[in-house]
Homo-oligomer: A and B are copies of this chain.
Amino acid sequence: MARGEDLARSVEDVLVLLRSKGGRVTTARRQLLSALFDAPSHVTADDLAAAVQARAPDVHISTIYRNLDELERLGVVVHTHLGHGPATYHLSSASHGHLVCESCGATIEAPPAVFEQLAKEAIERFGFRIDPRHFAVLGRCADCASAGSAGRR
């Protein structure tokens, strides 16, 4: 059960983990990790590519995807589908649920406690173990809700 998330405290930690699984340490990987550690949460693969390319221009977006995949397999990052649009990625240590406003796109990071009761209900009723990191709860933020029911979508 010991997983990447426990060990991934720094870029170097992850590189060690990677090497221990027979992986190689490359510039692309080092830069991607560095971008992930620096990034605000909710970065898209594209954002990450831009950050990486600022320092290593030749790194291709497909390499970003491949490595994000790899890092996810190691448990170092998770990705989330925020409603429409591209998936967003972040370190699994920065785990949290998301509340995304359908009107204005604002994203609120919700502490796990908010999902606790839901998690409990899901287990009790269906034996279903939710993973609150992996999806977004859509709705209306305070501002948009009070702006009236005007403007659906």
Say whether A135 contacts B134, CB under 8 Å: no
- For A113-153 the 0/1 string (1 means CB < 8 A from B) is 11101100110011111111011111111100110010011
When chains A and B are docked, how far (Å) is the Cα of A141 from the Cα of B125?
A: 11
What is the copy number of this chain in the assembly? 2
Q: Chain B's nearest CB lies how many Å from the CB of A151?
A: 11
Q: Could you tell me how many residues of chain A have their Cβ less than 8 Å away from some Cβ of chain B?
A: 41
When chains A and B are docked, how far (Å) is the Cα of A121 from the Cα of B113?
A: 9
Residue of chain B at shortest CB distance from A152: B73
Option from B127, B130, B141, B149 in Cβ contact (under 8 Å) with A126: B141
Say whether B126 contacts A131, CB under 8 Å: no
Where chain A touches its partner, the secondary structure class is mixed
Q: Chain B's nearest CB lies how many Å from the CB of A148?
A: 10
When chains A and B are docked, how far (Å) is the Cα of A146 from the Cα of B128?
A: 10
Say whether A110 contacts B127, CB under 8 Å: no
Say whether A1 contacts B81, CB under 8 Å: no
- For A54-91 the 0/1 string (1 means CB < 8 A from B) is 00000000000000000011010000010110000000
Q: Which residues of A contact B (CB under 8 A)?
A: 1, 72-73, 75, 81, 83-84, 99, 101-102, 108, 110, 113-115, 117-118, 121-122, 125-132, 134-142, 145-146, 149, 152-153
